[in-house]
Structure 1
Amino acid sequence: MPSALPDGDPAPASGELPPAALDRLPDGPFGVYLHVPFCAVRCGYCDFNTYTLPELGDGRTVGGSTTTFADAALAELDLAARVLGDHTRPVETVFVGGGTPTMLAASDLVRMLHGIRGRFGLAPDAEVTTEANPDSVTDGSLAELAAGGFTRVSLGMQSSVPHVLAVLDRTHNPDNVARAVRGARAAGLQVSLDLIYGTPGESLDDWRRSLEDAVALEPDHVSAYALVVEAGTRLAAQVRRGDVPAPEDDDEAAKYELADEALTAAGFGWYEVSNWARGERFRCRHNEGYWSGGSWWGVGPGAHSHLGGVRWWNVKHPTAYAARLAAGASPAAAREVLDDEQRHDEWVLLGVRLVDGLPMGGLRVAGRAAVAGLIADGLIDGSAALRESRIRLTRRGRLLADTVVRRLLGVG
């Protein structure tokens, strides 16, 4: 089942934001995230806010239809335009995630993008990405997306080994990854591949094969994430019953190191702990906006937003989401206004994961005091700390990034 929403303060039905938050909007990049909650099959490891059509009454409920979802999303964009008012600025990045966004017709994805352009404007060099299951796109749909303004597609490859895909409940045909990459290239789209390592039963050779197959497709960008067994998922139940073994830290560390070696040798450079690109221009700028504390409006059921130090999140169920908008109300379930302590903690938590790291001058006393020990433990680059006054993770530090964060925050 999808994870629960966090607690928070009541969100006004109007969607109104504090004036101070609106005033901060020009301080960084501004993006739009669009959450499409539909999936053909619920993968056993996934706790994202997603629904299969049978769970939604086969699309017969209001808001539960792939054919009407775009209308609800456009209604939220209308709300966003009213809330931002004179503070509206061109959108620099758009990311359509899910779920499987490409369960919607390409024309609907383009219609939502045009809705963003019409309400806010798009920056001349805007990055526009959609996630896609390799089985859910065709050469024609990819060409339609590109013609409509999309610039990137992020394909959920996960693995190229059939028995690993089976454990993950991934139903796509591995051969279709190559077909989808060719179609995206022909349409002029940049290509990113998503991989997962640490699946129960995945050997180091299985992971090496997936990396080699991914590199052979010559994508522009690769994301590789360690499998996390989330509470409440089917995989968690399987692990609890002993049907499959839990992922092991040492195994995942070995697979991360193999990924970094293989991708570096193929010409990719890491720029965030789990992300590699062929060059700076191929980095995912939308995600960089998250990691650098930028502002974004999250559209869709369960979508999270952040604008000028205010964070809010929408109701999760598509029917409830659509009903609120139809009534002229914000779909936000709750929100929080970040205080200085929270903003600092998030700056450390997110910024330390980036290749450029953090300026030491922004750390608090406890963080600066931890630097010498982190250098001695081989977790941060001593040269960068001493010569550039920056916290930059070593490869070992990337494996233990959470430990580095705790020590920089003085809590571990």
Structure 2
Amino acid sequence: MPSTLPDGDPVPPSGDLPEGALDGLGERPFGFYVHVPFCVTRCGYCDFNTYTASELGPGASREDYAHTAIREVRRARANLGDVDLPVETVFFGGGTPTLLPAADLVRILAAIGEEFGLAPGAEVSTEANPESVDPAYLEELRGGGFNRVSFGMQSAREHVLRVLERAHTPGRPAHAVAEARAAGFEHVNLDLIYSTPGESDDDWRASLSAAIEAGPDHVSAYSLIVEDGTRLAARIRRGELPMPDDDVAADRYLIADAMLAEAGFEWYEVSNWATSEAARCRHNLLYWTGGDWWGVGPGAHSHVGGTRWWNVKHPAAYAQRLTAGVSPAHAREVLTPGDRAVERLMLELRLSAGFPLGELDRPRVVARALADGLLEVEPFKTGRAVLTLRGRLLADALVRDLT
């Protein structure tokens, strides 16, 4: 979740959605994202809307956060009306959600269930720093209804973690995976980052090996992005560290795909691999396939029926609005049919399920992409265009050409 909020149209204090936004509500998958904006320290590469204790200031606290978030859950129910809307996925992200007591996360989840109901088999996930949990914490989450956990591993090499300013030790993620399995978690993800300055191919292979050996059923691997305003960007600007190289990143991606495939993982989105269809992150698939979701928390984004809005950024301003009984939304936009078509193409083409070939209206671009080996047509998927391995490396540029 980027720390800078975009401009947009004003939102009424009631938070009521514009006319037509609720049309078809309940016919599309519906989920909740809960943003927990707290971290012990700020990682050098991070541009997310998060706050350490020294950055938080007056008017907000970890101790009161669950109560405040539950107020927004109640407001969501009021704004969305009484339509039957069972929640299919809930995702707690951050920040570090597991800096809150497990009981607080369970309370927020319970409020979502009370107001909306959870669909049978709902996926309930939280992100976690491996150092911020222990067996008792994970058991309390599992007993409270969580069934998926995502650990931020990033790397297995100490010198790479130092560059990223990550606050955990190599080896701890593997222990955290084992503890999650022992607590009864059905699905466990490890997040990795590649192309960190100073990382070698061997470092990257070691990180992948450590992740695979830990036994998750899902791995996410992202190329490091140097965001303006971060400490990492400042260090690169001063010449202390080299800028990540695109060709190196492409090589690292190929290494990841080969090693993960050999270990029984299959890609289903450009940066995500799972050992089975059941292990795929259903919450992210809801985003990628045009579902509806309500984002709880400061800076959180929501989308319902083609209307997208985002909350005020600072936890104190967020808490103040909810305490006053008004919407915490900062601004919103109503997507045009053209906007929605572009976003659908941009997101769905990144999936292994592909995009309907007949709906791609740039025939010359499609023909060139097929000839260049960036796309292939899968007859058994009823003529859907699917990215090849080479196409995954150039997915962003290809989508730009197709829109």
TM-score range, shorter chain: over 0.9
Q: How far did residue 387 of structure 1 move?
A: 8.5
Q: Distance in 1 between matches of 2:366 and 2:380?
A: 10
Of 184, 206, 229, the match for 1:232: 229
Q: Does 1:62 align with 2:56?
A: no
After TM superposition, the structure 1 = structure 2 runs for residues 15-30 of structure 1, keeping only pairs within 5 Å, are: 15-30=15-30
In the other structure, the counterpart of 2:45 is: 45
In the other structure, the counterpart of 1:307 is: 304
Q: How far did residue 14 of structure 1 move?
A: 0.6
Of 176, 179, 182, the match for 1:186: 182
User: 2:297·2:311 contact (CA, 8 Å) conserved in 1?
Assistant: yes
Q: Distance in 2 between matches of 1:241 and 1:386?
A: 52
Q: Distance in 2 between matches of 1:155 and 1:161?
A: 16
Q: How far did residue 47 of structure 1 move?
A: 0.3
Q: Distance in 2 between matches of 1:283 and 1:385?
A: 23
Q: How far did residue 239 of structure 1 move?
A: 0.8
- Give the match's secondary structure for 1:330: coil
Q: Distance in 1 between matches of 2:162 and 2:25?
A: 44
In the other structure, the counterpart of 1:375 is: 370
CA offsets per residue over residues 172-202 of structure 1, 9 Å max, x none? 1122212211110011112100000000000
Q: Distance in 1 between matches of 2:217 and 2:88?
A: 20
User: 1:385·1:391 contact (CA, 8 Å) conserved in 2?
Assistant: no
Q: Distance in 1 between matches of 2:371 and 2:27?
A: 36
Of 137, 143, 149, the match for 1:141: 137
Of 154, 159, 168, the match for 2:155: 159
After TM superposition, the structure 1 = structure 2 runs for residues 171-182 of structure 1, keeping only pairs within 5 Å, are: 171-182=167-178
Q: How far did residue 391 of structure 1 move?
A: 1.4
Q: How far did residue 380 of structure 1 move?
A: 0.6
Q: Distance in 1 between matches of 2:3 and 2:108?
A: 26
After TM superposition, the structure 1 = structure 2 runs for residues 337-376 of structure 1, keeping only pairs within 5 Å, are: 337-364=334-361, 367-376=362-371
Closer, same or farther: CA 164–88 of 1 in aligned 2, 3 Å: same
Matched letter for residue 245 of structure 2: E
Closer, same or farther: CA 295–2 of 1 in aligned 2, 3 Å: closer
> Number of aligned pairs?
402
After TM superposition, the structure 1 = structure 2 runs for residues 81-230 of structure 1, keeping only pairs within 5 Å, are: 81-189=77-185, 190-230=187-227
CA offsets per residue over residues 48-97 of structure 1, 9 Å max, x none? 1000011114xxx222x111100110000111010011224010000000
In the other structure, the counterpart of 2:387 is: 393
Gaps of 5+ in 2: none
Gaps of 5+ in 1: none
Q: How far did residue 21 of structure 1 move?
A: 1.3
User: 2:47·2:230 contact (CA, 8 Å) conserved in 1?
Assistant: yes
Q: TM-score, normalised by structure 1?
A: 0.95
In the other structure, the counterpart of 2:247 is: 250
Q: Distance in 2 between matches of 1:2 and 1:81?
A: 26
Is 117-126 or 15-24 further displaced after alignment?
15-24
Matched letter for residue 284 of structure 1: C
In the other structure, the counterpart of 1:73 is: 69
- Give the match's secondary structure for 1:21: coil
Q: TM-score, normalised by structure 2?
A: 0.98
Closer, same or farther: CA 376–122 of 1 in aligned 2, 3 Å: same
Q: Distance in 1 between matches of 2:322 and 2:297?
A: 11
Matched letter for residue 146 of structure 2: F
CA offsets per residue over residues 346-369 of structure 1, 9 Å max, x none? 0111010000110022233xx233
Closer, same or farther: CA 83–387 of 1 in aligned 2, 3 Å: closer
Of 311, 316, 319, the match for 1:319: 316
Q: Distance in 2 between matches of 1:331 and 1:174?
A: 39
Q: Deviating runs (4+, > 6 A) in structure 1? A: none
Is 16-25 or 392-401 further displaced after alignment?
16-25
Q: How far did residue 408 of structure 1 move?
A: 1.2
- Give the match's secondary structure for 1:372: helix
Matched letter for residue 372 of structure 2: D
Q: Distance in 2 between matches of 1:355 and 1:32?
A: 24
- Give the match's secondary structure for 2:26: helix
What is the CA RMSD across the aligned residues, in angstroms? 1.4
Q: How far did residue 386 of structure 1 move?
A: 11
Q: Distance in 1 between matches of 2:238 and 2:300?
A: 32
- Give the match's secondary structure for 2:40: coil
